[in-house]
Amino acid sequence: MPGSMIHAEGLTKQFGTLTAVDQVSLDLAEGEVFGFLGPNGAGKTTTVRMLTSLISKTSGVAVVADCEIGKEADELKLRARIGLLPENVGLYENSTAYENLEYFGQLYGLDGATLRRNIERLLRTMDLWEKKDVPVATFSKGMKQKVAIARALVHDPILVFLDEPTANLDPEAAKMVREILLALKKEKRTIFLNTHNLDEAQRICDRVGILRTRLLTVGSPRELETRMSGNRTVVKLERASEAIAGAVEAQIGSGRVEVSGDQLLVDVDDPDRQNPVIAAAIVAAGGRIRQLTQLSTSLEEVYLKLIHEEALPS
Amino acid sequence: MRFSQAWLIARHDIRLIRSRKGIFYSLIAMPLGISLGFSGLIYYIAASGGSSAASYLPQFIDAFSFWFVIGAASLPTTIAAYGIVGEKVEKSLEPLLSTPTTDGEILLGKALSAFVPTMGAVWAGSVLYMGLVDWGVWGTFGHLYFPNLDIAILLLVLAPLVCLYSVEVSILVSARVTDVRSAQQYAGLVFLPLILLYVAGELGKPVLNDTNLLIIGGVFALIVLALFSTATKTFHREEILTRWK
Ligand SMILES: Nc1ncnc2c1ncn2[C@@H]1O[C@H](COP(=O)(O)OP(=O)(O)OP(=O)(O)O)[C@@H](O)[C@H]1O
Ligand SMILES: [Mg+2]
């Protein structure tokens, strides 16, 4: 599939008798930012480790950056193409920020000039250039996280896996890292982002997947909210009437409108398209709108609902 | 297996070792101590024995030379242990494994980072020792004592082999422990057989003649090979990420 960065089908990992990841199928297109959500122990890290060929899969297939997972001949090629920020930053504490990046750049086989250029560009982006010769042991957690992100990018990978880049950071450091993620998104890099943070996922990701051993659902944050909620539009009128309700029903579909006091409650599938239609129908029927609001389930509610019920929406 | 990739890792680890003053100084101090201390003893024995010293001096010189083999076994344990345990403590193995480097290259790099500085130090110390001894016993023997076949076997065959053996044991042990000290304690057991050989030699048993040295070398070569296959199995990325503590 052209433009496909990740294609996984039935990806499964068992540790002994424990199934850590069960039958995960997903596709990521080039340039997409994908958020992988799930509670502790959901299998996010395990999935990333399989997709980066750090651990073997028990079953299923996956093609990542045109390399087949589990095929030995493809392994080095795959690792050269992708970057990984692991859960633990794993920097060499007594080495400087520059030395940490330099070592990895060399392992990726970059020539001297390219390496120096990339390191300087990245450390400047991370606002760490002035500190390049300071041992990272003296850095704050947020600064270390930035060095580790820079390390994952030092060879200009086309696909980056970030395993909870903002976990354990204070709000300010987390914000700093999030801004870097947004900048990466602007650069059109494909990003696979593991996170617990729904707000982060919502702001940064084009699509999210919710995992609890199995992949419960995938879609854009907006889509998930809509798909899960049975979205409702609430229209407050000067005076609600059956006639106005009928006019709206004629546009949106029968049985979808309910009158409650001076409000109309309308079930919608696609609020962006249908709300203007509703408003126009009301006005045409002589109704006067005081307020029109969208009642929707937030991504957080979707997440909690799925995680707890493990209901599988279509 | 790309040697250049392994060498990148070795070079990086050697640089880290240089910043650990304790390890760095012991690497210099032990071979230097052996050279200076034992050549000094030889001077003393030669000077106090007069012309009769020529008959028993070789036995001392050869026994002291064996200390370079013991050095080759004992020096790399700390370096090799740091090479593995250090990465475990800093949790840097996962990012390292995510680079385009094979498990074998990482293992070889780790082994080289302990082997190369150790053998460098041992050989440098032994050259100094040979020079000092030759200078000191020239009057007694009327000819140069070193170089000779004995020392060539010791330094070029036995010392590298026991060094490799010690490196491999240290790596295997380090895979199972979480601190350098316990790695060292276990790995310290590796040079026990060497000490036994040495003591036997000192007691006058002719254990350290050329033939026996070559046989011992052969035994170590087999052990090195056997350990190598165990080490490659242990140093497997899935094993490292999912089972190492
Ligand atoms: N090496 C291992 N051996 C046995 N079980 C493991 C191993 N690694 C992970 N697991 C189990 O697999 C499951 C998934 O773990 P994983 O680390 O992938 O979750 P996660 O979604 O990344 O969680 P977190 O948010 O805490 O990072 C957990 O039940 C975990 O205990
Ligand atoms: Mg995790």
Residue nearest to ligand 1 atom 12, measured at CA: A20
**Is the separation of the CB atoms in A248 and A257 below 8 Å?**
yes
Tokens of B96: 């390292």
Question: What separation in Å is there between the alpha carbon of A70 and the centre of ligand 2?
Answer: 21
B5 CB neighbours in chain A (<8 A) are 107
Of A13, A14, A15, the residue with max ligand 1 atoms within 8 A of its CB, to mutate for a pocket test, comes to: A15
pLDDT tens profile B9-22: 999 999 998 888 88
Q: What is the pTM of this model?
A: 0.86
Interface of A with B in 24-83 (CB under 8 A): 49, 52, 54-56, 76-77, 79-80, 82-83
Q: Which of B9, B16, B98 sits opposite A92 (nearest CB)?
A: B16
Q: Which atom of ligand 1 is nearest to the CA of B243?
A: 1
Task: Name the residue of A19, A22, A37, A44 to mutate for ligand 1: max ligand atoms within 8 A of Cβ.
Answer: A44
Residue whose token pair is 């997972």: A69
- Choose among B12, B95, B97: nearest Cβ to A151: B95
**The pLDDT of residue A296:** 67
Q: What is the ipTM of this complex?
A: 0.90
Find out whether A183 and A285 touch, Cβ atoms under 8 Å.
no
Cα distance between residue B79 and residue B10, in whole Å: 11
Q: Does residue A259 have a pLDDT over 70?
A: yes
Q: Hey, where are the domains in chain A?
A: 4-225, 231-295
Percent of chain B with pLDDT over 90: 54
Q: SS3 string of B24-64?
A: HHHHHHHHHHHHHHHHHHHHHHHHHHHHHHHHHHHHHHHHH
- Indicate the residue type of B159: A
Nearest CA-CA distance, residue A104 and chain B, Å: 8
Residue nearest atom 31 of ligand 1, based on CA coordinates = A41
pLDDT exceeds 90 at position B233:
no
How far does the centroid of ligand 2 lie from the alpha carbon of residue B110, in Å?
28
For chain A, percent of residues with pLDDT exceeding 70: 96
Predicted confidence (pLDDT) at residue A41 exceeds the cutoff of 50: yes
CA B15/CA B163 separation, integer angstroms = 20
Query: Would you list the domain boundaries of chain B?
Result: 3-243
Helix axes B103-141, B210-234, angle to 10 degrees: 160
Q: With left for phi above 0 and alpha for psi between -120 and 50, is residue B207 left, alpha or beta?
A: alpha
Residue with the two structure tokens 């997947």: A209
Helix (H) or strand (E) holding A81: helix A72-81
Cα distance between residue B28 and residue A107, in whole Å: 30
Give CA–CA dist B213/B211, Å, rounded: 5
Distances, alpha carbon B57 to alpha carbons A255, B67, B212, B213, in Å = 111, 16, 21, 20
Report yes or no: A151 and A91 within 8 Å, Cβ to Cβ.
yes
pLDDT value at B88 more than 50: yes
What distance in angstroms lies between residue A313's CA and the mean position of ligand 2's atoms?
A: 25
**Rg for chain B, CA atoms, rounded:** 20
Among A77, A83, A90, beta carbon nearest to B94? A90
Sheet containing A4-15: which strands, arranged edge to edge? Answer: A18-29, A4-15, A59-64, A67-68
pLDDT digits (tens, 9 = 90+) for B30-86: 999 999 999 999 999 888 887 788 888 888 898 899 999 999 999 999 899 889 998
> 3-class secondary structure for A206-248?
CEEEEEECEEEEEECHHHHHHHHHCCEEEEEECCCCHHHHHHH
Structure tokens at B6: 């392994």
Model confidence at B201: pLDDT above 60: yes
Place of tokens 């010293």: B53
Q: How far apart are CA A194 and CA A71, in angstroms?
A: 25
The answer to whether the CB atoms of B8 and A95 lie below 8 A apart is: no
Task: Choose the CATH number for A231-295 among 3.30.70.100, 3.40.630.30, 3.60.21.10, 3.30.379.10.
Answer: 3.30.70.100
The architecture in CATH of the region A4-225 reads 3-Layer(aba) Sandwich (3.40)
3-state helix/strand/coil string of B174-206: HCCCCCHHHHHHHHHHHHHHHHHHHHHHHCCCH
A212 vs B200: which has the higher pLDDT: A212
Cβ distance A52 to A82 under 8 Å?
yes
